[in-house]
Structure 1
Amino acid sequence: MNIHRLIKGGLAAGLCLTALATGIRMAEAKDWRDPTLSPDERAKLLDAELTPDERIGLLHGPMALPFKIERLPDGAIGAAGYIPGVPRLGIPALKETDASLGVTNPMGIRPGDTATALPSGLALASSFNPKLAHDGGAMIAREAVAKGFNVLLAGGANLARDPRNGRNFEYLGEDPLLAGTLAGESIKGIQSQNIVSTVKHLSLNGQETNRHWANSVIGEAAHRESDLLAFQIAIEKGQPGSVMCAYNLVNGDYSCGSDHLLIKVLKGDWGYKGWVMSDWGAVHATDYAAKGLDQQSGEQLDDQVWFGEPLKQAVAAGTIPAARLSDMSRRILRSMFAAGLFEEKPAPAIDIAAHEAVAKQVADEGIVLLANKGILPLAPGVKKVAVIGGHADSGVLSGAGSSQVTSHGGNPTVIPVGGEGFMAAWLRQAFHNSSPLKALRAALPGATVSFNDGRYPAAAAALAKDADVVIIFANQWMSEGLDAYDLSLPQGQDQLIEAVAAANPNSIVVLQTGGPVLMPWLDKVGGVVSAWYSGQKGGEAIADVLTGKVNPSGRLPVTFPASLDQYPRHDLPGWGLPEKQQFDVVYEEGSDVGYRRFAAKGMKPLFPFGHGLSYTTFTYDKLRVKGGDTLTVSFEVTNTGKLQGKDAPQIYLAGAAGKPLRRLIGFEKIDLKPGERRTVTVKADPRLLAHFDEAGRQWRIDGGDYDVAVGPSAAQTVLSGKARVSQRTLKP
């Protein structure tokens, strides 16, 4: 036997065992810096490295504006919010900006800094185009990242329950499927650029009037089937890093201190892994930490920094478990890892032309042709055009509040509104530098296009009388912090339209509004166009639709009522009440929001949800409905007109197991050339067929025949069919 060979072999084996043991120890000693680990693993490892004070530091921060603070924190960018990082561990600070309609520059705190302004949320919702939501979100995110931000306070998913709500223009309409789908795609687009997006404001933040003291009252099943379903869909599709809770109370508890909303529903039933941040000034106690809130935002707006020293003392006293504190910081770190905030990447360049093209496309597809007596598109040979009102010579109107964007080219017209309180600084009518008058003159070089400001109806009517066609711009300015008192056009604009239309019935009304308005003059004008707040290139988009360069394809994401009496609350809850006096907003309509309630009550609106005209025509045929665990619906759409155009066919549940109803279960945006056919196939989310079983805490689908209606709006059925759906239950 060769002793040297035995010794050599033994040494080799020993070395192999040593190496194996070392490798095992290295594998066990995972490092949070390892990018191959999951965000959950990395967050758990990094959270373990934090000191108690460092952990507390991640859980609160100020609004990054010179308001109730002596100076901005070191490293903060003037904007919505700032949460200090932990330099010792390489944890970056959270630099937060508003939001869904573009990167804001509140009160001009960053002199000269402008951004691309998207059209309003209602304009995006009118497009019925999820791809545009994704592209718009990605565009805003690129600009935010280039400016140094890493959190966008975007993703508004609140349903438009009251047409007077001052923030409806930021949101995505009255239907949970439409709002949830578009919000989810927007969030997905934002986070594709390595930045965190929120979804907000959970939940039932349905009005601005005394919003801090409004108690939203609703049954659990109705809540799950409406507003919560919109949030659930948005979260599933977009996976936002953070959820922002709301100012209002929900069934007696403040949203940001509701363990039912934040723990049982959001983090329990939905398994949400990110963090919950408060709205700015929405925290009222330290025990909100025990009820699901993870971070206090805009801390100087609250009575005190509840998640600072008071939280530290509560943990020391054992009233807030140390494990809960770690859960709060770990959730924040987890979303930071998931969004790529720890990876060093060069800031993207801002391609202004490309970004403005995105804004223009959203406006093109979001403008809704509501009524047309053959006057649109404008005839190529039109010679004399009168443009009246709406500051159309200057630009296009925008909504106000925290979403107000200082757009490229500045604001050529800014009209102070006046007012008192914290929101007073935002109460101004700002116009984006995109003049419809200039755009119309460019689009109609052979015509004389005159303008009258509309201050005196008689003077406007005199100009209109001699014109071939008249275009009247009518504005309804809306803002965060304020609700509309009613649905009339303010400042005598209804009377202006009446006077002009009496002088010349070839009048077209272009509405720049934050939601539905009444139209007592509707039968006296030749056409009505809803342009909403049309953003950076809105003037050009309006001109292109009016002249036919763009075939309108927008569809209403909200119902336009014939009267305010058609809504369950004629008087706005809380109007005239003093501050700090709580009051109930009883959502007696439950899950029958908007068009669902109109259908249930048999009421005829002025214009139904989903309505919108085109310069071409479409037909639907060859309907096929398949049942089983859910409904699968397919049919063919044909462009039967002479122009290329986009359609947004809609599929509704018209009856469930013998119960008539109306519920959007699918839609698609398609572009067709003349004579072109295309098959549309939609598989319904089974929750849209179900009702929520409160006792069983689950979705329940009753077995039986389910009726389907296909059409161009919630009020018009072109095709109908049915199929049998199996009885089943679904997790909440």
Structure 2
Amino acid sequence: MKKLLFAFPLMVVGFFAQAQTVPVYLDEAKPMEQRIEDALARMTLEEKVRVVHAQSKFSSAGVPRLGFPDFWTDDGPHGVRPDVLWDEWEQAGQTNDSCVAFPALTCLAASWNPAMSLIYGESLGEEALYRGKDMILGPGVNIYRTPLNGRNFEYMGEDPYLASRMVVPYITGLQSKGVSACVKHYALNNDEEYRHQVNVIVDDRALHEIYLPAFKAAVEEAGSWAIMGAYNLYKDQHNCHNQWLLNDILKRDWKFDGVVVSDWGGTHDTDQAVKNGLDMEFGSWTNGLTMGASNAYDNYYLANPYLKGIKEGKYTIKELDDKVRRILRLYYRTTMNRQRPVGFLCSDLHYAAAKKIAEEGIVLLQNKNNVLPIDLQNVRRILVVGENAIKPMTVGGGSSSLKVQKEISPLEGLQARLAGTNIVVDYQRGYVGDKTSEYNGVKLKVNLDEERTEEQLIADAVNAAEDADYVVIFGGLNKSDYQDCEGHDRKEYKLPYNQDKLITALAETNKNVVYVNISGNAVAMPWTDKVPAIVQGWFIGSEAGGAIASVLVGDVNPSGKLPFTWPVSLQDVGAHKLNTYPGTWREGNQIIDEEYKESIYVGYRWADKEKIKPTFAFGHGLSYTTFAYGRAVVDKKVMGADETLTVTVPVTNTGNREGAEIVQLYISDLKSSLPRPVKELKGFSKVKLTPGETKEVVFTIGKDALSFYDDARHEWVAEPGKFEVIVAASAADMKSKVSFELK
């Protein structure tokens, strides 16, 4: 049921009748800050405390006496989560809370196309509006530090620059609909295991150069209206009330004027919550109406304990008023904004957007002998193998689980695309993973029961593959616990359910094997030399099957590139090589210290430093056409400190079909007073080219692209000296270099 933007009590209406004037706080002609101060002055102490904590699982109370409606949040960086009961995680049983599932954010990042982020945010905002939601708890921009992180699929990869460029338009699009973003999880939330106890020890350079830039861009460039604190600790303070991250960096240095929201259950102490930057507390007593006190929300850290502390003189009104000002500002941007547009749910445009984003994010990792696209003119039988060809992937995974109006499976997508042709599409299960048929009240529409043994499943698949023209295997991970799922990390890097055995057997049987990996993480692939074609299919939502089919048969030319490095083994990852993950329990304590000893050397930065060749490099992705790079040139050889440098490189489509290439620009500091990565991404451009067409790709870089964070001076520094521009197709495929000097 949709709520009204205004629900004025009778006493307010009566006030209008007597005064014949509109109070300042309701007068939209007045500046917002003036309206905020007027409303603040009219609120009682109890009303102020009322708005700084939750009143249900996903809502906080408004101010009925003044006409401020309740404020509704919702999980869903990838879609609007189904409604739950007032004070339970169980489904509310509504029939109008299905949604469109958009691709997970790893797929969005793999598109390397900010225009897709804008469409994503706008579409999600419209769905949220229709459902009566004022804030979407997303997007997530935590850095991909280890491929074992169960929540990597919700984030935007390993590189701070790529994540920064992709998150800004997402927030802009979402908030253009009058729905607040809530960027998460701030900060250093880079693994899920023991997430409430992990105390991150990280140097200031890594903090500012790797783990904060995407959050900073979300605040300073996109103007995010809210930030969600993380569960973990930094400097022995939980991040939902952390002096350094919230008061010093976020609110003082970045001038954040929005609301800091606690993650659900992330608040631990009234005193720290009052003083260390938290504005709205959610989820601290998550079963208040079924377990414990019946007035659970009044017992939150920022509820009665806070009110009591103020009345006893323990806390001043100053901190409370700062929190309430921020919340009122959020109200005026959302619930009190009469200019908010009308929402739409499950529209054709939203499905089209979901499919387009998926198609741009799918990555062609390997294509020996041009096995792909499938040659439809010379194929009579295609065998599809694997549980992930039929298993829904919008259900499960934690807070991003959705109840969708539809989800096209890979098998259904390929069958639909080839309907009406003479091509037969057969299916074999191949392996059995998680047969769970329900998550949080949402039931799968597919029966995953299986009686055959592992040996029989493999034998049946191999027999069916012997006379198939193509074998397309859909494997990888799923949204089950200890895989790509909130709450725990993966236990190992290899594929689960003994999939390696199945893939190897099929590759030895048929020469045209295509492996489609469904996951939000890299996985071990010891059989890459045996499998001709490998596609990274991500978790791509409602239109998954159609998008994957369009790439496999060549209706769409793949153009996605990896947003993270794909290591051969965990020993090729700094966090694992240096034995810093998953941290060490303190003696006699319930806190785990996890020291980021690899510092700034995350992902390709570590691979470059250690001269490691990954299975697939950061930024890698193939096409059904080919591209040639010309020589990069710069507009000046010496760049002043206040000047910009223009880099131009011609790129030509040398193949026989239209395609899009993602041109990447890296900067290398050839001599520095502090250690620096071999190179760092500082620009990219996705350019579409017809056969034979050449376009000049132009980059403009300023001093910020040359800077590092000086932890002794606590500021960003660009040292004079020689630099090198590297134009590349991936972090391991450099095409052109040109040097210049910074004065």
TM-score range, shorter chain: 0.7 to 0.9
Max radius of gyration: which structure?
1
* 1:640-651 to 2 correspondences below 5 Å: 640-651=654-665
Query: Equivalents in 2 of 1:565, 1:587: separation in Å?
Result: 15
Please name the residue that 1:514 is paired with. Answer: 520
What is the deviation of 1:358? Answer: 0.5
CA shift, 1:574, in A, is 5.5
Please say if residues 99 and 345 of structure 2, whose CA atoms lie closer than 8 Å, have aligned partners that are also in contact: no
What residue number does 1:200 align with?
184
Correspondent of 1:184 among 145, 148, 168? 168
Please report how far the alpha carbon of residue 480 of structure 1 lies from its aligned counterpart in structure 2 after TM superposition: 0.5
2:608·2:677 contact (CA, 8 Å) conserved in 1?
A: no
**Which residue pairs with 1:32 in the alignment?**
25
Give, in whole Å, the separation in 2 of the partners of 1:247 and 1:580. Answer: 17
- Equivalent residue of 2:382, what SS? strand
Q: Using a 3 Å threshold, how does the CA distance of structure 1 residues 399 and 607 change in structure 2: closer, same or farther?
A: farther
In 2, Cα distance between equivalents of 1:405 and 1:633: 44
| 1:229 paired to 2:229 | no
1:557 counterpart (558, 563, 571):
563
Matches of residues 13-412 of structure 1 in structure 2 within 5 Å? 31-64=24-57, 81-105=58-82, 107-112=90-95, 113-287=97-271, 288-301=273-286, 304-339=299-334, 341-343=336-338, 347-350=342-345, 352-373=347-368, 374-380=370-376, 381-393=378-390, 395=392, 400-409=397-406
The 3-state SS of whatever aligns with 1:550 is coil
1:620 equivalent in alignment to 2:629: yes
Structure 1: distance between partners of 2:337 and 2:588: 43
> Shift of the alpha carbon at 1:692?
1.3
Change in 2 beyond 3 A, CA 1:628/1:671: same
CA distance in 2, matches of 1:320, 1:635: 60
Distance 1:142 1:181 in 2: 22
Distance 1:240 1:520, change over 3 A: same
Instruction: Provide, for residues 535-582 of structure 1, a one-character-per-residue CA deviation record: whole Å limited to 9, x for no partner.
Output: 110101111100000000010001100111111333641699999821
Listed one character per residue, the Cα deviations across residues 466-506 of structure 1 (whole Å, up to 9, x for unaligned) are 11111011031211012111111101111110111111131
- 1:214 Cα shift? 0.6
Q: Distance in 1 between matches of 2:281 and 2:589?
A: 21
Asked whether the equivalents of residues 705 and 722 of structure 1 are also in contact (C-alpha less than 8 Å), the reply is: yes
CA shift in 2, pair 1:316/1:684, >3 Å = farther
Distance 2:211 2:382 in 1: 45
8 Å CA contact retained: 1:209, 1:575: no
Secondary structure, in 3 states, of the residue corresponding to 1:48?
helix
Contact 1:63 1:300 in 2 (8 A): no
Alpha-carbon separation, structure 1, partners of 2:313 and 2:519: 52
1-side partners of 2:528 and 2:380: how far apart?
25
Structure 2: state its 5+ residue gaps.
1-21, 85-89, 288-295, 432-456, 479-483
Q: How many angstroms does 1:372 deviate by?
A: 0.4
Whichever residue aligns with residue 540 of structure 1, its letter is G
- Superposed CA offset, 1:261-300 (max 9, x none): 1011001111111111110001111122211111111232
Is structure 2 residue 415 aligned with structure 1 residue 441?
yes
Contact 2:127–2:346 (Cα < 8 Å) also in 1: no
One of 672, 675, 678 as aligned partner of 2:689: 672
User: 602, 613, 619: which one pairs with 1:593?
Assistant: 602
Q: Is the 8 A contact 1:62 1:299 kept in 2?
A: no
Aligned partners of 2:189 and 2:232 also within 8 Å: yes
| Cα distance in 2, alignment partners of residues 258 and 529 from structure 1 | 42
1:5 aligned partner: none
Correspondent of 1:566 among 554, 568, 572: 572
Compared with structure 1, are the counterparts of its residues 576 and 453 closer, same or farther at alpha carbon in structure 2 (3 Å cutoff)? farther
Helix, strand or coil at the partner of 1:136: helix
- Cα-to-partner distance string for 1:35-78 (whole Å, 9 max, x where unaligned): 344433322222122111111011000452xxxxxxxxxxxxxx
> For the structure 1 residues 344 and 668, does the alpha-carbon distance in structure 2 shift closer, same or farther, using more than 3 Å as the test?
closer
Offset, 1:223: 0.2
Q: Which runs of 5+ in 1 are unaligned?
A: 1-28, 65-80, 410-432, 727-732
Distance 1:559 1:341, change over 3 A: farther
Checking the alignment, whether the CA contact within 8 Å between 1:274 and 1:335 is kept in structure 2 is yes
What is the rounded CA distance, in whole Å, between the counterparts of 2:575 and 2:409 in structure 1? 37
Q: Which AA in structure 2 matches 1:359?
A: A
CA–CA separation in structure 1 for the residues paired with 2:427 and 2:667: 47
**In 2: Cα distance, 1:397 partner to 1:606 partner:** 28
User: 1:529 is paired with a residue of what secondary structure?
Assistant: strand
Over residues 81-136 of structure 1, what are the superposed CA-to-partner deviations in whole Å (9 max), with x where a residue is unaligned?
10010011121211000121000115432422210001111000000011111111
Match of 2:678, SS state, is strand
Report if aligned partners of 1:60, 1:299 keep a CA contact under 8 Å in 2.
Answer: no
Q: CA deviation at 1:236?
A: 2.1
Whether the 8 Å CA contact 2:395–2:403 is kept in 1: the answer is: no
Q: 1:596 to 1:526 in 2, by over 3 A?
A: same
Q: Secondary structure at the match of 1:590?
A: coil
User: Contact 2:601–2:677 (CA<8 Å) still a contact in 1?
Assistant: no
Could you report, residue by residue, the CA deviation over 1:567-606 in whole angstroms, capped at 9, with x for unpaired residues? 1333641699999821111111112221111111111111
Deviates more, 1:311-320 or 1:452-461: 311-320
AA of the residue aligned to 2:276: K
CA distances 1:368-387 after superposition (whole Å, capped 9, x unpaired) = 00000110001122112111
Read off the aligned partner of 2:610 and give its amino acid letter: K
CA displacement 1:328-373 (0-9 Å, x = unmatched): 0001111332346332656423352111101001110010000001
Aligned residues: 660
Partner of 1:633: helix, strand, or coil? Answer: strand
> What per-residue deviation string (whole Å, max 9, x for no partner) do you get for residues 204-243 of structure 1?
1111101000111101122011111121112223211111
Identical amino acids, percent of aligned pairs: 37
| Secondary structure of the corresponding residue to residue 554 of structure 1 | coil
Aligned equivalents of 1:661 and 1:466: distance in 2? 49
Query: Normalising by the residue count of structure 2, what TM-score does the alignment of the two structures yield?
Result: 0.85
Conservation of the 8 A alpha-carbon contact between 1:396 and 1:538:
no
Counterpart CA distance in 2 for 1:392 and 1:579 is 47
Instruction: State the distance in 1 between where 2:99 and 2:471 align.
Output: 33
CA 1:104–1:42: 2 relative to 1, 3 Å: same
Counterpart selection for 2:593 from 584, 591, 610:
584
